[in-house]
Structure 1
Amino acid sequence: MTQQTIDLPAGTIHYRIAGPEGGRPVVFVHGFLVDDTLWADVPERLAARGLRTYAATWPLASHRTPMHPDAPLSPRDVARIILSFLDELDLRDVVLVGSDTGGAVCQFLLDEDASRIGCLVLTNCDAFDVFPPFPFNLLFRLGRHPRLSWVALQPFRWARVANGPLGFGLLTRRPIASEESRRWLAPSLTSDAVRRDTARFLRGWRTADLADVATRLHRFERPVLLAWAPKDRFFKIRLAHGLRDTFPDARLVEMGDARTFVSLDEPAWLADEIAGFVGVGDSS
């Protein structure tokens, strides 16, 4: 695994890369208020099977380097940042993997320009008119105002709150480690510039925009894997069923013992499903 940075028109992106240079590229897109560590060791597991993995931290409230002050950062604009990442690294036939808010961003990306995408993997994520689910839509509204978001985040300085049912606690089956939640929350708690970035993202957020994108997802005719946890309280299995019926070539697999953050609860299972989906062997 190698940590790298890349300077894009919108700002600097940090990412970790693993796997052989000639391997098929896999690009991961995490959700709101988490970073690349959301993927646990899934990228490294896939790298061991010959894939070239790119796990970046996107400007979704847990990024440590603020974007340029004039950079547009709506959900569609974040999708454009990912496209510029693919362009700059000249990645083609990409396996695009999205989770949570990142799954919505992936859908915006397909709507914008799917020419570099070879296939799509979505774990539990926003879709149709669920963007985001309750109660996170309340957090999104507060986050449109940097000062209000700072006030709202103060209780999350305490691990009991951050990792409890009002924080990340309902998003995983296993307890979230305090080190993980502190890492995710620190940029928004400590950086005015990151909070301003987040406000730009949330001011550009409209639930109706994702519902509109859903009317065009059928245009993406390449393979889609929906790796879903049906016990998730927020992104219900009906969303996976709807996506399966929308994409022309989609397959749904279920993980019964996970929650929203499938990659944290079942990293080995997710890596195996992605590897089988793209047709690579085991690491032995």
Structure 2
Amino acid sequence: MRRRQFLHWTGAAFAASVVGACASHVDAGHGAVGLAPSPCSAAEAFRAARRFADLSFGQIAYVERGVGDAALFLHGAPLNGFQWRGAMERLSAHRRCVAPDFMGLGYSRIPERQSLAADAQAAMLVALLDALAIPQVDIVASDSGGAVAQLLVVHHPERVRTLLLTNCDTEPNSPPPKVKPAIELARAEALADATAQWLTDKALARATFGAAVFRDPSRFADETIEYYAAPLVSSPLRRAQYHAFHLALEPNPLAGIEARLQHSKVPVRIVWGDGDDIFSPEDARYLDRTFPQSQGIRFVPGAKLFFPEEFPEVIAEEALRLWRLG
């Protein structure tokens, strides 16, 4: 029954820039070997561009593209940095775009006893920026990544130049009720099993998770499902960490943060899918009221939680607008 509840809730231009790397997987900061270029998919290109930063938190996976002032892209759950491939393609001419994988999600390699709570994720990101010699960033964040972004604004305001938030946690709605079934599955150590079904039944992934978070789940490609789900269930440790990530969503990581956000000097733009029933338009209006430097809200008609993957041009347009102000 719990599994059915979860399934109900979860209801390549970028490749061109790294096509030469598709013949090999770049890993741990080492360059690609000298193999002949071959055509590759968006997922293959992203995989080939992946690097690892060796931090005290573990080996943090990230993909980087572009030069100049940096932008940090923070993904939601159970996704990874691949969520931002379309936005990075459009914005890398304007920023050094960095998309890390959170601890417990994606391809980051984390020690067994490392905390996966939001405050630890924020501390990891600061360490990552230090390792990459990045003093300040424009943040673009979604879902649980938006909660971590708000913690960065409060605890490390000097590192945040601007903040673009899409559908994400707010203090009054973290974690949202629709995520509770996934948390309960994690508590029962069954969430990884439910997610593993997506790898053998892609239609199920589209009909459940895809329908819950995308306006057009038919565009949730097989390779995207593989790229998101495979690392989460790849070993007993990764399964346990996937569960631990969700258990760390409680208690509310944003409890008590509102008063400090009300004093933030960071320019903020809010871009919200108004078809999302996980984070409602009221969450967007709350953020707009709370941040004194809010530049307002853009609602995307019919868009759901992970619309930045479907409509990266909207993210690029709004980011450029905000960055001109920041």
- Give the alignment's TM-score, normalised by structure 1: 0.89
Q: Distance between the aligned counterparts of 2:323 and 2:151, measured in 1?
A: 22
Kept after mapping to 2: 8 A contact 1:94/1:117: yes
Deviation at 1:99, TM superposition (A): 0.2
Q: Which structure would you say has the larger RCO, counting Cα contacts within 8 Å and 6 or more residues apart?
A: 1
List runs of 5+ in structure 2 lacking aligned partners. Answer: 1-16, 18-48
Deviation at 1:39, TM superposition (A): 1.2
| SS of match in other structure, 1:163 | helix
Kept after mapping to 2: 8 A contact 1:220/1:247: yes
Q: Among residues 170, 189, 193, which one is paired with 1:151 in the alignment?
A: 193
Q: Are residues 1:111 and 2:154 paired?
A: yes
Q: Distance between the aligned counterparts of 1:197 and 1:14, measured in 2?
A: 15
Q: Distance between the aligned counterparts of 2:54 and 2:64, measured in 1?
A: 16
State the Cα RMSD in Å: 1.9
Q: Are residues 1:96 and 2:139 paired?
A: yes
Q: Distance between the aligned counterparts of 2:259 and 2:240, measured in 1?
A: 31
Deviation at 1:222, TM superposition (A): 1.4
The letter of the residue matching 2:226 is R
Deviation at 1:212, TM superposition (A): 2.1
Q: Distance between the aligned counterparts of 1:238 and 1:197, measured in 2?
A: 32
Kept after mapping to 1: 8 A contact 2:104/2:116: no
C-alpha change, 1:7 and 1:118, in structure 2 (3 Å) is: same
Q: Distance between the aligned counterparts of 1:72 and 1:241, measured in 2?
A: 31
Kept after mapping to 2: 8 A contact 1:66/1:193: no
Kept after mapping to 2: 8 A contact 1:27/1:96: yes
The letter of the residue matching 1:8 is L
Deviation at 1:181, TM superposition (A): 1.5
Q: Distance between the aligned counterparts of 1:268 and 1:110, measured in 2?
A: 25
Pairs aligned (count): 274
C-alpha change, 1:19 and 1:151, in structure 2 (3 Å) is: closer
Identity of aligned residues (%): 27
- Give the alignment's TM-score, normalised by structure 2: 0.78
Deviation at 1:187, TM superposition (A): 1.6
Q: Are residues 1:13 and 2:60 paired?
A: yes
Over alpha carbons, which structure has the higher Rg?
A: 2
The letter of the residue matching 2:55 is L
For 1:129, the equivalent position in structure 2 comes to 172
1:38-87 CA-partner distances (Å, limit 9, x unpaired): 11320121112x211101122243x2343012322111111111111112
C-alpha change, 1:57 and 1:209, in structure 2 (3 Å) is: closer
Q: Among residues 228, 231, 237, which one is paired with 2:272 in the alignment?
A: 228
Q: Distance between the aligned counterparts of 1:52 and 1:197, measured in 2?
A: 30
Q: Distance between the aligned counterparts of 1:153 and 1:41, measured in 2?
A: 24
| SS of match in other structure, 2:256 | helix
The letter of the residue matching 1:5 is F
Q: Among residues 72, 81, 90, which one is paired with 2:124 in the alignment?
A: 81
